A and B are shown apart, each in its own frame.
Chain A
Amino acid sequence: DTGVSQDPRHKITKRGQNVTFRCDPISEHNRLYWYRQTLGQGPEFLTYFQNEAQLEKSRLLSDRFSAERPKGSFSTLEIQRTEQGDSAMYLCASSLGAGELFFGEGSRLTVL
């Protein structure tokens, strides 16, 4: 499969624990995006990278959230000291410049 892949697909954690999600974009895509989707809502933009540079962060991305794309390829999204309100589907997408966004299947986080 040459699409966007995300890992893990599901994560259950206890409140206060840290979690990390990984996204592998389509190989030649230089832009990578993170979105969050809660039940009954559409995806909400969190942040995006162009190559390794994080160019924009939403105010939704509190200081407990950090995203990296160290070599301009895969990206990680870490949530520290998780809260129940962090329970959501975390979506990754990638694009080649201002081209079509291709989404992954998401990583579902459940915080108990």
Chain B
Amino acid sequence: AQSVSQHNHHVILSEAASLELGCNYSYGGTVNLFWYVQYPGQHLQLLLKYFSGDPLVKGIKGFEAEFIKSKFSFNLRKPSVQWSDTAEYFCAVNLATDSWGKLQFGAGTQVVVTP
């Protein structure tokens, strides 16, 4: 079955540590890739997206992600996290053959940043 896999369900790290969240997808065709974040008690927000071009994309709040086509991966990174980065992070894929806005989400990674 086609799917989006996020490697870790929970990550706990200290402030100033580096963060990397893995995301792999199993679709063979052209895809649009997204990372969303959900802060406690808030709605899903777009962190960054990749459609084409430079495989290293930068998003809001110092986040970046790298698309590696050969590995079907789109990993999210941040060099130095802050307590305010505590949130749930979702990777999502939109197949180019699918309707815009029809996203396949991973199960999410809960990130807790301790002071």
Contacts and interface: CB of A to CB of B under 8 A. Distances in A.
B100 A95 contact: yes
B90 A42 contact: yes
Contacts of A33: 101-102
Given A42-B90, A42-B107, A42-B108, A48 B44 contact: no
Interface residues of B, number: 21
A85 B1 CA distance: 22
Nearest to B49: A100
B43 A105 contact: yes
B101 A48 contact: yes
Contacts of B90: 42-43
A98 B105 contact: no
Given A42-B92, A56-B99, A95-B100, A3 B43 contact: yes
Interface string A87-99: 0000101010110
Interface residues of A, number: 25
Interface of A: 3-4, 31, 33, 35, 40-45, 48, 55-56, 91, 93, 95, 97-98, 100-101, 103-106
Interface of B: 4, 9, 36, 42-46, 49, 90, 92, 99-108
13 contacts: A33-B101, A42-B4, A42-B105, A43-B90, A45-B103, A48-B99, A48-B101, A95-B100, A98-B100, A101-B101, A103-B45, A105-B42, A106-B43
